[in-house]
C-alpha cells in the first residue's frame, strides 16, 4: 500500500475513533441531556447511528486535515513517517 494512502487511512480512522469516544462520553455524562434523550426515544438505534456518523465524520476529517497541514514538505522527511 502506498505511504500516502496509508497516511490518509490511519489518520482518518484515528479521528473517527476519537469522535466515537467523545460521542460516548457525551452520552454517558449526559451533556446537554443527550443521554436522557437517547434513553427516552423510541428509535434508539437510529439515534445512535446518526450520532456516531456525525461525530465520526467530523472528527475524522478534522484529524486528517490537521495531519495533512502538519505533514512534512520534503520527500526525505515524509519517508521517515
Rounded to two decimals, the pTM is: 0.89
| Domain assignment present for 79 | no
Burial tier of 77 (Cβ tally within 10 Å: 0-12, 13-18, 19+)? exposed
Q: What whole-number distance in Å separates Cα of residue 65 and Cα of residue 50?
A: 22
| Domain assignment present for 78 | no
Mean pLDDT on 63-72: 94
- Contact criterion met (CB below 8 Å) for 55 and 19: yes
The tally of domains found in the chain comes to: 1
Nearest CA to 19 out of 63, 49, 67 is that of: 63
Mean pLDDT on 18-31: 97
Domain range enclosing 25: 3-73
Band (75; pLDDT cuts 50, 70, 90): confident
| Domain assignment present for 55 | yes
Instruction: Spell out the residues 6+ positions from residue 58 whose beta carbon is closer than 8 angstroms to its own.
Output: 19
Q: What confidence score (pLDDT) does residue 19 get?
A: 98
Higher-pLDDT residue of 79, 72: 72
Has residue 81 got a pLDDT over 80?
Answer: no
Amino acid at each position: 500500500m502506498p505511504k500516502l494512502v496509508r497516511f490518509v487511512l490511519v489518520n482518518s480512522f484515528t479521528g473517527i475513533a476519537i469522535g466515537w469516544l467523545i460521542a460516548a462520553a457525551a452520552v454517558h455524562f449526559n451533556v446537554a441531556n443527550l443521554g436522557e434523550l437517547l434513553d427516552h426515544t423510541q428509535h434508539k438505534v437510529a439515534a445512535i447511528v446518526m450520532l456516531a456518523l456525525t461525530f465520526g465524520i467530523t472528527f475524522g476529517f478534522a484529524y486528517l486535515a490537521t495531519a495533512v497541514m502538519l505533514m512534512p514538505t520534503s520527500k526525505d522527511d515524509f519517508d521517515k513517517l
